[in-house]
Amino acid sequence: MNLPHALQKAIVCLNNGLLVGVPTETVYGLAANACSEKAVLRIFEAKKRPSFDPLIVHFASFEAVKPYIDLSGFATEHLKELMQLAQAFWPGPLTILLPKSPLIPDVVTSGLPHVGVRVPAHGLMLELLNALDFPLAAPSANPFGYISPTSAEHVSAQLGEQVAFILDGGRCDIGLESTVLGLEHGEWTIFRKGGLSLEKLHTVLKNVRVHNHSSSNPKAPGMLKSHYAPRKHFDLLHREALLEKETYAPDVFFLLFEKNLPKQSTKQQYLLSPNANFSEAAQNLFAFMRLLDALPACKSIVAEFVPDKDLGAAINDRLRRAAAQDEPKTNLSK
């Protein structure tokens, strides 16, 4: 197999049980051999991730997923819907929780009987997965609880020597983690809002519940309440509340959706998408949060909610968790 040097190096590292930063369309992952308990434990150690927070496992195709799951207890209706989901959204930003087979070590799922699986939509990552004899466990490549990385440079800056190699696949196209979907009490349920919107899921599934409450003991990856957070003070308000205040201190910077605040300096304001484009806003979210967190002039960050539709629902989810709050401090929306 004639592979580029970078891919060959990543393969050697992973075959030797080491950690590799990998690109996906959502965010960069910290990857290790999902079938090696020793390699997976290195992920938890490098990220300082609690052992009760399960990992997502990445595969090259739905066919490659099958040996690692056990669908013997699946109802015919759910099996049909699963096939439709895989056909419609894989490769793509959808993780599906499925009963695991013994090939997946318990450390990957934090002892839970289900494993989150997905097929990423990134050419370089798929090449890597196709060249390996095992799938990759790969949570976001950042210290636990911090802002997720959307470029190779982000991975290098925050994990450095803890990663044997970083496979640079450019900037992430989506910029938000995958949507996590699974069955709960016989109903398809979103456990984490993400890069696949509810509206798109509805094109395949008529009925989908949304798990809006985070947990300190998650059933699925990405369900912790406080997450994706900058180190600086971070507030989250509706625009009406932001407009009520005449002036803010010069060291307060704003993360806004499409429009500046008219009474504040434009130098203190960062717009996720001046064209009100949800995809652009999602792609910029973590990069702008990281930029503000590193900006010496910025001592405090104030963000506004975006419209709660399309990818806006997932953006708001990340903003809430960055502010570690379930409800907005001030809700003046109609």
In tens digits, the chain (334 residues) has pLDDT values of 567 899 999 999 999 999 999 999 999 999 999 999 999 999 999 999 888 889 999 999 999 999 999 999 999 999 999 999 999 999 999 999 999 999 999 999 999 999 999 999 999 999 999 999 999 999 999 998 889 999 999 999 999 889 999 999 999 999 999 999 999 999 999 999 999 999 999 999 999 999 876 554 556 666 555 567 788 999 999 999 999 887 899 999 999 999 999 989 999 999 999 999 999 999 999 999 999 999 999 999 999 999 999 999 999 999 998 997 433 333 322 2
Q: With a threshold of 0.85, does the pTM exceed it?
A: yes
Give the pLDDT of residue 223: 55
Give the pLDDT of residue 160: 86
Give the pLDDT of residue 225: 54
Please give the C-alpha separations between residue 167 and each of 8, 146, 149, 156, 319, in angstroms, as whole numbers.
Answer: 10, 21, 13, 11, 28
Buried b (16+ CB within 10 A) or exposed e, 28-63: bbbbbbbbbeebbebbbebbebeeebbbbbbbbebe
CATH 3.40.50.11030 in the chain, residues? 233-322
**Domain spanning 5-210: CATH superfamily:** DHBP synthase (3.90.870.10)
C-alpha to C-alpha distance for 256 and 271, rounded to whole angstroms: 5
Pairing of strands 187-192, 179-184: antiparallel
Give Cα 160 distance to the centre of its chain: 20
104 and 57 in contact (C-beta within 8 Å)?
A: yes
Give the pLDDT of residue 221: 67
What's the CATH number for 233-322? 3.40.50.11030
164 and 42 in contact (C-beta within 8 Å)?
A: no
CATH 3.90.870.10 in the chain, residues? 5-210
Is the backbone peptide bond immediately before 91 cis, with ω within 30 degrees of 0?
yes
